[in-house]
Amino acid sequence: MHNKTLAQLSHALHAKEISSVELTQHFLNRISRFDEQLNSFITVTPERALEQARAADQRLQSGTAGFLTGIPLAQKDIFCTLGVKTSCGSKMLDNFISPYNATTVEKLDAAGMVMLGKTNMDEFAMGSSNETSFYGAVKNPWDLKAVPGGSSGGSAAAVAARLAPVATGTDTGGSIRQPAALCGITGIKPTYGRVSRYGMIAFASSLDQGGPMTRNAEDAAYLLKEMAGFDLRDSTSVDSPVPDYVASLNDSLEGLRIGLPKEFFSKDLNSEMAQTLETAIKELEKLGAIVKEVSLPNSHLAIPVYYVVAPAECSSNLSRFDGVRFGYRCENPKDLSDLYKRSRGEGFGSEVKRRIMIGTYALSAGYYDAYYLKAQQIRRLISEDYKKAFEEVDIIAAPTSPTPAFNLGEKTDDPVTMYLSDIYTIAVNLAGIPALSMPAGFINQRPVGLQLMGNYFSEAKLLNVAHRFQKETDWHLQTPNGF
Amino acid sequence: MEWETVIGLEIHAQLATKSKIFSGASTAYGALPNTQACTVDLGFPGVLPVLNSEAVRMACKFGLAIGAGISSRSVFARKNYFYPDLPKGYQISQYELPIVQKGQLDIEVEGEIKTIGITRAHLEEDAGKSLHEDFHGMSGIDLNRAGTPLIEIVSEPDMRSAKEAIAYMKKIHALVKYLEICDGNMQEGSFRCDANVSVRRKGESKFGTRAELKNLNSFRFVEKAINIEVERQIDLLESGKQVIQETRLYDPDKNETRSMRSKEEANDYRYFPDPDLLPVILDENFLAQVKTTLPELPDAKKQRFISQYGLSTYDAEFLTDTRDLATYFEKVVETLKADPKLAANWVMGDLSSFLNKQNLEISQSPVSAEMLAGMLGKILDNTISGKIAKQIFEAMWNGEGTAEQIIEKQGLKQVTDTSAIETLIDEIIAQYPQQLADYRSGKDKLFGFFVGQAMKASKGKANPTQLNDLLKKKLA
């Protein structure tokens, strides 16, 4: 049952081959059986889940069920969930029970989906290995010595190990795509503004975007269709109709122009990775795609720009965690200043503090122009690069991550090396365009992802290409041993 | 040594929107602490601000009223600092691109008209309140006010005395009330002011070092605080010391200013554009539409009152002080259809003094404009005298009915029947033969005595003009 895709499960539910309660119980059982090894969930919510499952079964009985009704899912612990602990992977919010639902939670609840629980993540989504979580690292189901990637590492590991059919993630600099690649699943970061950020705890507001993490592109299309849409409560969400991502999945790729940025396929890319991706791209050529080289001349500036913009925004976004109204408060503060310093000092982990420090510095009087303003200018250049490239090609293919999953602890002492693991994903967030990662092979039994980037609001095209690829390949059908 | 004072004001006016600037919570004053703060106002994780278009509209009204440019694109920025009554750890304000650009306002002090420059006005959210009393050594936080829309109006350093500062502040106060964008209530903090004050030697072109004065929540305090601060700065400079740039708090109990924080201790606010909000883009159509909602402004109204009603400058200024008062006056004139000067005298005289005595606004007056006009009509058609009118006005004020009803009930109708007045005069003359003889022998002053006696005998109801004429004839 757990090997079925979302689409298959929906058919089974509608055909009454299984009830949502049975399905939900099955996944809850798998979580209790396997998650001790993976640590992919921070909170499991069996009671809430079974209640939703019972309601879903009623809808299925009465014929008012939608396609997603009764399907279990896991929500990243960054989405505020009414009455449920929403920790964002931090000690700061270990005691935080959200008094409201994020739009994503509200929408998926309304669709009749069943939330199994909240998945582990890097603290406040800051990390590329899921090792900064207050709740401990998540293990990669393909190799328990390896990281699952981050920051949506819990969601990626849970879907890969089939502890949940699908999950949500968020992506500020690669946090959906990189863990999707490292865990061998499909994940899409939509166009900035496509999915509401309301109730999604902010890391870097101008970059954050929620999206689905699934076993294949078809499931992602179903889930994204439900998550996407304008939200009055998010001024940066975009008021344009949501296309039927499922309807175009089988469109022909004949004549599709795929650009390969020469900056990404340079000699810096390790040869095994290059070979694996080349093979995958050949597969797309067989489907009728035409491949040509493009240039993204400013892509080497993406990491430095990102590490000014994202920390700057986070330094301000995280000011609200002050020990006054909610979240962690230190014991016996002497005075106001002591309350602030110790609550924040004790409540935040070191990576979060590092970024708050960098961001505060970048915004300081006398440095603002040289850092933040300059970074914003370069950000526009990076967007221009993509705009130009999309005049020549329909989509761009790139590695998702420079390497397959690395080992736990391998990069924790060296933040800059850790930051470089997002070198191929970050520019997409700076430009605000959509991109997905799909399974494209293995190196040393660890999954490899191919990234597909598209122009604004081209999610349907990206999912179409991924789906056609997945009809010809079986990388996405591989499952890790032992789960 | 002659010194010159230089003053610039930063006025914060709370906009009279129903809901907050970035959330749907109510802005009503006086609710129980923390009952009008939603998750957005409380800065909960994950919440996002959504701009209240009514606040934008009100800011535009203000800008248009001071002849300022309205930015076609303005940007909200975050002002970052930590304080318990600032839930998000930043205030959403406008920094580099405010919604209202340069404008100006004329003030009048001791007969002289002076133009004061307004540098800018921008939209921002208010913080909550910290309550330091009654919490056993702790502080209480009330976040009801957090997120209330404010417009911050920044003047040029164009004022040269506390009097000018007050005139400017009162002018802005009247304007925002006219525009109905702020209730102007200073006790409730709807209208607040900080003053930047410096002094320099007369004739010098460079500004002196300034101090920013906070906590000026009445016109009187602004005046007192500025004067006391100017004295302090002059004393410092004259004794060879320096003024340091700092923020000072005015203490009305001790009538002194004292240092809050120096420039060095000032926060680095780390302003940057708020990524949660899109730039505010305003087009010509929108502004044209807002323009149609602008009322007649105080200065224009004053000029019109002078030319249309033949009022003195003083009267016109008095009557246009608030929009409600001007409307009241015009309604009286409109109903009366005659003698605007009589209407002005009554509105400015008896009505205002009754309102003042009971501390009421014109809108709360128990005597409506129609009632007052009804009574004035009775004066004009000689039904009553001005003196009796005062009695009737008081009765109307006390809720005894309209002038007509009171005249009827109390029999206050003026006596205009010549024979009745003659009879009255004859009786008085007969009563005072000695005074009559004295008058006739040249003591002209005694005429007043006879008028008084006759009026008294008529219980004030005799028509004064008729009485005078007839008396003159009879005494001759």
Give the Cα separation of A202 and B34 in Å (integer): 24
Three-state DSSP class for residue B290:
helix
**A404-436 confidence digits (pLDDT tens):** 999 999 998 888 888 888 999 999 999 999 999
Of B472, B437, B476, nearest to B454 (Cα)? B472
Compare A164 and B420 and report the one with higher pLDDT. A164
pLDDT reported for residue B440: 86
Domain ranges for chain A, please list them. 1-483
Give the Cα separation of B26 and B145 in Å (integer): 9
* Average pLDDT of the segment spanning A171-183: 98
* Average pLDDT of the segment spanning A54-75: 97
* Average pLDDT of the segment spanning B395-407: 92
Q: Do A234 and B46 touch (CB under 8 A)?
A: no
Within 10 A of A219 (CB to CB), how many other CB atoms are there? 28
- In a 13 Å sphere around the CA of B73, the CA atoms on its Cβ side amount to 3
Give the rounded distance of the alpha carbon of A131 from its chain centre: 16
Contact A40, A140 (CB under 8 A): no
pLDDT higher than 80, residue A294? yes
pLDDT higher than 90, residue B414? no
Of B227, B201, B203, nearest to B213 (Cα)? B227
Interface test with A, best of B22, B40, B47, B125 (most A CBs within 10 A): B47
Q: Is A200 exposed, middle or buried (0-12, 13-18, 19+ CB in 10 A)?
A: buried
* Average pLDDT of the segment spanning B423-427: 87
Give the rounded distance of the alpha carbon of A462 from its chain centre: 16
Query: A158-167, A285-294, B65-74, B130-139: lowest mean pLDDT where?
Result: B130-139
What number of helices (H) and strands (E) belong to chain A?
A: 15, 11
Q: Do A320 and B80 touch (CB under 8 A)?
A: no
Which H or E run contains B446? helix B446-457
Residues 6+ apart with CB under 8 A from A430: A207, A302, A305, A306, A309, A379, A382, A383
Within 10 A of A141 (CB to CB), how many other CB atoms are there? 27
* Average pLDDT of the segment spanning A442-459: 98
Of A270, A272, A257, nearest to A397 (Cα)? A257
**A307-329 confidence digits (pLDDT tens):** 999 999 999 999 999 999 999 99
**A224-233 confidence digits (pLDDT tens):** 999 999 999 9
pLDDT reported for residue B336: 93
DSSP category for residue B52: -
* Average pLDDT of the segment spanning B78-107: 96
* Average pLDDT of the segment spanning A147-161: 98
Give the Cα separation of A56 and A61 in Å (integer): 8
Mean pLDDT of chain A: 97
Across chain A, which distance is largest between two alpha carbons, in Å?
70
pLDDT reported for residue B430: 87
Q: In chain A, pLDDT over 90 holds for what percent of residues?
A: 97
**B343-365 confidence digits (pLDDT tens):** 999 999 999 999 999 999 999 99
Alpha carbon of A420: minimum distance to chain B alpha carbons (Å): 25
Give the Cα separation of B78 and B275 in Å (integer): 9
Q: Do A319 and B39 touch (CB under 8 A)?
A: no
pLDDT reported for residue B457: 83
- Name the residue with tokens 């209480």: B140
pLDDT reported for residue B344: 96
pLDDT reported for residue B360: 92
Chain A residue numbers with beta carbons less than 8 Å from the beta carbon of B272 are: 312, 316, 363, 368, 372
Q: Do B43 and A325 touch (CB under 8 A)?
A: yes
Tokens matching residue B313 = 């400058």
pLDDT reported for residue A289: 98
DSSP category for residue A320: G
Q: Do A325 and B90 touch (CB under 8 A)?
A: no
Alpha carbon of B76: minimum distance to chain A alpha carbons (Å): 13
pLDDT higher than 90, residue B388? no
Compare A371 and B429 and report the one with higher pLDDT. A371
pLDDT reported for residue A387: 97
Interface test with B, best of A313, A325, A430 (most B CBs within 10 A): A325
- DSSP, residue by residue, A213-255: EESSHHHHHHHHHHHBS--TT-TTS--SPPP-TTTTTT---TT
Of B377, B358, B360, nearest to B369 (Cα)? B377
pLDDT higher than 80, residue A391? yes
Residues 6+ apart with CB under 8 A from B233: B197, B198, B199, B208, B211, B243
pLDDT higher than 90, residue B399? yes
- In a 13 Å sphere around the CA of B260, the CA atoms on its Cβ side amount to 13
Respond yes or no: is residue A76 known to be catalytic. yes
Q: Does domain A1-483 have CATH number 3.40.50.620?
A: no
pLDDT higher than 80, residue B263? no
The catalytic residue among A10, A40, A133, A151 is A151
Residue type, B244: I
Q: In A, what residues contact B, Cβ < 8 A?
A: 79-80, 86, 88, 93, 96, 98-100, 102, 197-202, 204-206, 232-236, 312-313, 315-316, 318-322, 324-327, 336, 340, 360, 363-365, 368, 372
Q: Which chain A residue's Cα is nearest to B24?
A: A233
Q: Which of A202, A206, A365 sits opposite B46 (nearest CB)?
A: A202
**A345-359 confidence digits (pLDDT tens):** 999 999 999 999 999
Q: Do B50 and A233 touch (CB under 8 A)?
A: yes
Give the Cα separation of A335 and B439 in Å (integer): 89
Confidence of residue B471 (pLDDT cuts 50, 70, 90): confident
Residues 6+ apart with CB under 8 A from A328: A91, A92, A93, A94, A95, A321, A343, A346, A347
Tokens matching residue B240 = 């060879």
Q: Is A443 exposed, middle or buried (0-12, 13-18, 19+ CB in 10 A)?
A: middle
Tokens matching residue B43 = 């800065």
* Average pLDDT of the segment spanning B34-41: 96
pLDDT higher than 80, residue A296? yes
Contact B136, B2 (CB under 8 A): no
Confidence of residue B232 (pLDDT cuts 50, 70, 90): very high
pLDDT higher than 90, residue B201? yes
Alpha carbon of A183: minimum distance to chain B alpha carbons (Å): 27
Give the Cα separation of A169 and A119 in Å (integer): 9
The catalytic residue among A76, A118, A139, A461 is A76
pLDDT reported for residue B333: 96
Alpha carbon of B84: minimum distance to chain A alpha carbons (Å): 7
pLDDT reported for residue A230: 98
Respond yes or no: is residue A175 known to be catalytic. yes
Give the Cα separation of B131 and B124 in Å (integer): 22
Of A196, A400, A429, nearest to A310 (Cα)? A429
Q: In chain B, pLDDT over 90 holds for what percent of residues?
A: 76
Residue type, B253: D
Determine contact: B275 vs chain A, CB below 8 A.
yes
Across chain B, which distance is largest between two alpha carbons, in Å?
99
Residues 6+ apart with CB under 8 A from B151: B12, B13, B15, B58, B59, B62, B100, B121, B122, B123, B124, B181, B182
pLDDT reported for residue A420: 85
Confidence of residue A169 (pLDDT cuts 50, 70, 90): very high
ipTM of the complex: 0.96
Q: Which of A234, A315, A324 sits opposite B84 (nearest CB)?
A: A324
Respond yes or no: is residue A10 known to be catalytic. no
pLDDT higher than 80, residue A109? yes
Q: Which chain B residue's Cα is nearest to A238?
A: B278
pLDDT higher than 90, residue B217? no
pLDDT higher than 90, residue A159? yes
Determine contact: B38 vs chain A, CB below 8 A.
no
* Average pLDDT of the segment spanning A75-80: 98
Q: Which chain A residue's Cα is nearest to B272?
A: A363
- CA B262-B269-A127 angle, to 5 degrees, is 135
Q: Sheet of B90-94: strands edge to edge?
A: B90-94, B76-80, B272-273
Q: Do B45 and A88 touch (CB under 8 A)?
A: yes
pLDDT reported for residue B135: 77
Contact B100, B70 (CB under 8 A): yes
Rounded to whole angstroms, what are the CA distances from A55 to A58, A80, A109?
5, 22, 11
pLDDT reported for residue B36: 95
Determine contact: B281 vs chain A, CB below 8 A.
no
**B2-11 confidence digits (pLDDT tens):** 999 999 999 9
Of B242, B280, B279, nearest to B262 (Cα)? B242
Alpha carbon of A465: minimum distance to chain B alpha carbons (Å): 32
Confidence of residue B427 (pLDDT cuts 50, 70, 90): confident
Which H or E run contains A16? none
pLDDT reported for residue B476: 78
Determine contact: B135 vs chain A, CB below 8 A.
no
Residues 6+ apart with CB under 8 A from A387: none
Within 10 A of B300 (CB to CB), how many other CB atoms are there? 11
